[in-house]
């Protein structure tokens, strides 16, 4: 049999935070989706224990404004890639508009803290989506190219090969074998 | 910048290759902490003992006592170690070897470059990719690259 589930992300997020913060015995208030206040200043030790316990849920402590901005850039890129209409814009003007900073500034901050450029990150992200679709759906490469707004299947294959060093079909073959071996 | 230092392990039986790797790594912008091992047996003994989980392991394939493939299989079947990204670092360019390492859970396959500049570029690319997989919302199941 199969069951289907759906999440209320706010409740999930608060439940996880509450569980972990209570477990570690902090006196705290959850201010909003991105902010938690503590009654007492955390020691470096406490902060790293907390970071560790939250990291298994994919929650990261953002420790300064630059890191926060980088996170917002990544979130905006994800939004843009998920939105068909937004895909018509150039990534540079889209980010500058949404985040109210010049693209040059955003691009600098991004490379400084992620060791890669915004352009490379977008490609990596798109290839990651393509990998996801190749591995988990029966869509053909042509359908995947269309879905991810590539101008042609050749463009997708080319970018895939250049980024991963593998052709989409080799990638697919490896994932299939991995599933057989249950890795 | 508040970037942490990446803990990296390399197992390679060739002394010159270990030295070149270390030299290349120290030239890069990304801050790293490298531990070297002469063979797979030394590496696995370290992994079982240590309390700090490495961010990335580089494995040569042909090594005495325990080879790279045996290490990879042990790492992927251990609850504590299986999430660690593994890069295979080998002179073999046989398609069969490459596919085999991926099927057995390797994340990256690097053909040992023949000159120092290429080596530096290759390691830099691996560290960048690994960094993105650590810090961004990318699917780790599909973390597969050949360099």
Residues B55-75 have pLDDT tens digits of: 999 999 989 999 999 999 999
pLDDT at position B2 over 80: no
**Chain B residues touching A125 at Cβ < 8 A:** 136, 138
Residues B19-31 have pLDDT tens digits of: 999 999 998 888 8
- What's the CA angle centered on A160, arms A154 and A161, to 5 degrees? 90
Please tell me the least confidently modeled range out of A41-55, B31-45, B74-88. A41-55
Does any domain span residue A22? yes
Q: What is the pTM of this model?
A: 0.75
Same domain, A16 and A33: yes
Plot region of B7 (φ>0 → left; ψ -120 to 50 → alpha; else → beta): beta
Does any domain span residue A60? no
- In this prediction, residue B1 carries a pLDDT of 33
Does any domain span residue A3? no
Query: Domains in chain B and their CATH numbers?
Result: 6-146 (3.40.50.2300)
CATH number, residue A154: 1.10.10.60
What's the pLDDT band for B131 if we cut at 50, 70, 90? confident
Does any domain span residue A155? yes
Does any domain span residue A89? yes
Which has the higher per-residue pLDDT, A151 or A32?
A151
pLDDT at position A163 over 70: yes
User: How far, in Å, are A79, A81, B53 from residue A84 at the CA level?
Assistant: 10, 7, 40
Domain range for A35 is: 9-55
Does any domain span residue A2? no
Q: Please tell me if residue B132 touches chain A, with a CB cutoff of 8 Å.
A: yes
Does any domain span residue A145? yes
Residues A32-90 have pLDDT tens digits of: 777 788 888 787 778 878 888 888 888 887 766 677 889 899 989 988 888 777 767 88
Which has the higher per-residue pLDDT, B56 or A113?
B56
Angstrom distance (rounded) from CA A115 to CA A67:
13
Same domain, A73 and A44: no
pLDDT at position B46 over 90: yes
The domain total for chain A is: 3
Q: From start to end of chain A, where are the E strands?
A: 28-32, 35-38
Determine phi and psi for A90, rounding to 5 degrees.
-80, 140
Angstrom distance (rounded) from CA A180 to CA B75:
19
Please tell me the least confidently modeled range out of A72-86, A92-106, A120-134. A72-86
Does any domain span residue A35? yes
**Minimal CA separation from B140 to chain A, in Å:** 9
- In this prediction, residue B3 carries a pLDDT of 52
Q: Please tell me if residue B1 touches chain A, with a CB cutoff of 8 Å.
A: yes
Q: Do B138 and A124 touch (CB under 8 A)?
A: yes
């Amino acid at each position: 049999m199969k069951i289907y589930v759906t999440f209320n992300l706010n409740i999930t997020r608060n439940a996880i935070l509450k569980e972990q913060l209570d477990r570690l015995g902090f006196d705290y208030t959850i201010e909003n989706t991105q902010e938690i206040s503590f009654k007492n200043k955390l020691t470096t030790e406490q902060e790293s224990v907390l970071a560790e316990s939250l990291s298994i849920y994919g929650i990261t402590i953002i420790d300064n404004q630059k890191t926060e901005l980088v996170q917002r850039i990544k979130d905006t890129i994800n939004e843009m890639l998920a939105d068909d209409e937004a895909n018509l814009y150039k990534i540079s003007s889209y980010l500058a508009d949404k985040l109210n900073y010049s693209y040059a500034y955003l691009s600098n901050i991004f490379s400084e803290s992620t060791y890669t450029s915004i352009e490379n990150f977008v490609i990596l992200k798109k290839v990651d989506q393509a990998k996801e679709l190749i591995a988990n759906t029966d869509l053909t490469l042509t359908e995947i190219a269309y879905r991810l707004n590539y101008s042609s299947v050749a463009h997708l294959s080319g970018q895939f090969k250049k980024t991963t060093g593998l052709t989409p079909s080799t990638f697919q073959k490896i994932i299939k074998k991995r599933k057989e071996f249950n890795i | 910048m508040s970037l942490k230092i990446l803990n990296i392990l390399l197992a390679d039986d060739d002394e010159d290759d270990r030295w070149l790797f270390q030299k290349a790594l120290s030239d890069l912008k990304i801050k790293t902490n490298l531990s070297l091992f002469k063979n797979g047996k030394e590496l696995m003994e370290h992994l079982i003992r240590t309390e700090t989980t490495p961010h990335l392991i580089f494995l040569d394939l042909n090594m005495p006592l325990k080879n790279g493939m045996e290490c990879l299989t042990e790492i992927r079947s251990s609850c504590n170690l299986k999430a660690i990204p593994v890069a295979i670092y080998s002179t073999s360019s046989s398609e069969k070897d490459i596919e085999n390492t991926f099927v057995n859970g390797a994340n990256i396959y690097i053909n040992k470059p023949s000159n120092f500049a290429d080596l530096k570029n290759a390691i830099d690319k691996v560290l960048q990719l690994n960094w993105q997989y650590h810090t961004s919302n990318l699917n780790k199941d599909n973390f597969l690259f050949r360099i």
